[in-house]
Structure 1
Amino acid sequence: MSFENTPYKDKKVISIGIVSELTGLTFRQIRYYEERKLIFPERTEKGTRKYSFSDIEKLVEIANKREDGVQTHEIRTEMKKEKEKPAEKSVLKEMLRGQFNAHFKNNHDQTS
């Protein structure tokens, strides 16, 4: 997906300083969550991290969970499951559509 087609919330244009101000997290905390593979900022040619509004929302969610005592590996596992849900829903929807079509095809064949 090109930058122009990227939803504004997902555009990686925000510096770590602004992210820190918006979230209340320190630079070190933000980098730690990156090290733990919870967020994935882009890097400029000079190595500067750039974040999106979606990253900021995710960081706030991570910080809240950490305050509640949730470990980073648990957060990562939960995030992975959340990411897989749309694919599972798609498969389920296709299965239901197939059953629905088969049901009506069988009923139509029996009445013909």
Structure 2
Amino acid sequence: MTEEEKSYKTKKVITIGIVSELTGLSERQIRYYEERQLIFPDRSQRGTRKYSFGDVETLMDIANQMEDGVRTFEIRQEMKKKPDEEKLKRSMIKGQLNARFGIQNNMKR
């Protein structure tokens, strides 16, 4: 993902009404997911919730899991694991590339 795509996906500029239209979720459902600590919108100076496109994707994923009967607690637990899994994947790929191209890791032990 390029820096431009990253900033575009993470910039919180979308209001809850638009998010509701994009996702098909009610504003109440979106607020509920926030209460359950599954989504973390920013707030404007007037208190308006602001979401990113990444948040919209997360909400769609949450809604799909909820339809499949997954509870919010279980979703939150899985969300906590994702950063660790991503870090592990990157580390494994880096190791594979280093091994493939004969790059030695000069880290102190």
Instruction: Give the alignment's TM-score, normalised by structure 2.
Output: 0.77
1:84 shift after superposition: 1.4
* 2:14 is aligned with 1:17: no
Aligned length, in residue pairs? 99
Corresponding residue for residue 77 of structure 1: 77
Corresponding residue for residue 35 of structure 2: 35
Q: Distance in 1 between matches of 2:75 and 2:42?
A: 21
1:95 shift after superposition: 7.2
Where does structure 1 lack aligned partners over 5 or more consecutive residues? 103-112
1:83 shift after superposition: 1.7
Q: Could you report, residue by residue, the CA deviation over 1:23-74 in whole angstroms, capped at 9, with x for unpaired residues?
A: 0111110000001111110001111000000000110110010000000000
Counterpart of 1:52 in structure 2: which amino acid? S
Q: Distance in 1 between matches of 2:88 and 2:57?
A: 24
Q: Distance in 2 between matches of 1:88 and 1:27?
A: 35
Any idea what SS the aligned residue of 1:7 has?
Answer: helix
40-49 or 86-95: bigger deviation = 86-95
* 2:42 is aligned with 1:66: no
Counterpart of 1:58 in structure 2: which amino acid? T
Corresponding residue for residue 44 of structure 2: 44
* 1:21–1:91 Cα change, 3 Å: same
Counterpart of 2:58 in structure 1: which amino acid? K
Higher helix residue share: 1
1:7 shift after superposition: 1.3
Identity of aligned residues (%): 59
